[in-house]
Amino acid sequence: MYVLLNGRLTAQQELTLALPNRGFYFNDGFFETLIWAEDAIRYGGHHVARMQCAAAVLGLELPETLRNLASLQGLFRSLLAANGLSQARVRLQIWRGGSGLYTPESNTAEFLVTAQPFVLHAAPVAQADFAETVRTHPSAWAFCKGPNALTYVLAGRERQRRGLDELLLLDPAGHVAEAGAAAIFWIRAGHLYTPALTTGCVAGVRRAHLLEVAQAHGIPCTEGLYQPSELLEAEAAFTANVAALRPLTWVAGVSLASASHALLQALQNWEAS
C-alpha cells in the first residue's frame, strides 16, 4: 500500500516521520475521516469547511493542496489510483510542523494521507446506553476530530466492557451529546432533533448534511440541550457519521421502532437522491 506524506507518494513500509513530531508529542493537530466513492469525496464541501475552521482555531497554516475541494480530490485520486482503490475510507492526519515545546516555533501544517477499502456497515444498532465513565469536553476546538480523541478511546473501552453496540455520551451537565463515533439524532412528531455543538460534540459532516437535507424538505430541525429522558421519548433514533446512518433498536432498555420509521426512511432516500 502507498501513503501520501506532505503530498509525496511513499510506500507504506518505507514511511518515516522525522522527530520531534508535534502531532505525536503534543497531539498538536487534527484529522479527517473521509469516504471516497464515485470518483469524489462524499460531503466534500463540509469536510473542507471543517478543516478550515479547525486550522483557524488551532492556528495552523494549511498547505495549498488542502485548502479547496478540487485540489484535495486531486490529491486523493492519485493515492487511490496507486493503491488500485475505487472506493475507500481515507484518513487525513494534519499536525503542526517544526519543533518547540508547548509553545510552537511554526504554524505550518504537515500531513499524512492513508487509505483502505471501505466496507459499509449500516445495520441497526441492537443495544445502546448512556455512558457512565466518560463525558464530552466542550471547548473552542471540540468540534474537530483529534484534540479530544482520548475521550472516544475511553468511550470505546466502556462500550466494550459493558457489551454494548453503541455508547451515547453526555456533556458535563448531563445533556445528550453524541455517540462514540457519530452524531445522534431522534424523531418525534415529525420533528428532527440533535444535540447542539455547545455540548462538546464533533461537528460531523454527515450531521451538517442531514440537517440541510431535512430542512430542504420542510422537516423542522432543532439543535439544543436535551436530557436523556427526551431521547427515550422519541419515536425513532439513529446515529450518523460519514460512513453510515444506523437506526437504534434499544436505548437504555427502551425499545425504538427506528428502522421502520417512515420519516427516517424518507431521510435516507432523500440523502441518496
φ/ψ of 112, rounded to 5, equals: -135, 130
Per-residue pLDDT, averaged over 81-91, amounts to: 97
Q: In what order do the strands lie in the sheet with 88-96?
A: 8-11, 2-5, 109-117, 88-96, 29-37, 40-41
User: What is the tens place of the pLDDT at every residue in 198-220?
Assistant: 999 999 999 999 999 999 999 99
The pLDDT of residue 51 is 98
The closest alpha carbon to 23, from 84, 106, 88, 79, belongs to 106
User: Average pLDDT of the chain?
Assistant: 97
User: What is the tens place of the pLDDT at every residue in 56-75?
Assistant: 999 999 999 999 999 999 99
Q: What is the reported pTM?
A: 0.95
Helix or strand run (H / E) with residue 271: helix 262-272
**Does the structure show a pLDDT above 90 at 95?**
yes
**Does the structure show a pLDDT above 90 at 104?**
yes
- Percent pLDDT > 90 in the chain is 98
Per-residue pLDDT, averaged over 30-42, amounts to: 97
The closest alpha carbon to 240, from 228, 215, 258, belongs to 258
Grid cell at residue 211:
440537517
Per-residue pLDDT, averaged over 160-183, amounts to: 98
- Percent pLDDT > 70 in the chain is 100
The pLDDT of residue 197 is 98
**Does the structure show a pLDDT above 90 at 273?**
no
Contact between residue 235 and residue 265 where contact means Cβ atoms under 8 Å apart: no
Contact between residue 63 and residue 4 where contact means Cβ atoms under 8 Å apart: no
User: What is the tens place of the pLDDT at every residue in 210-246?
Assistant: 999 999 999 999 999 999 999 999 999 999 999 999 9
Residue type, 240: A
Measure the N-to-C terminal CA separation of the chain; round to a whole number of Å: 33
The pLDDT of residue 272 is 84
User: What is the tens place of the pLDDT at every residue in 176-201?
Assistant: 999 999 999 999 999 999 999 999 99
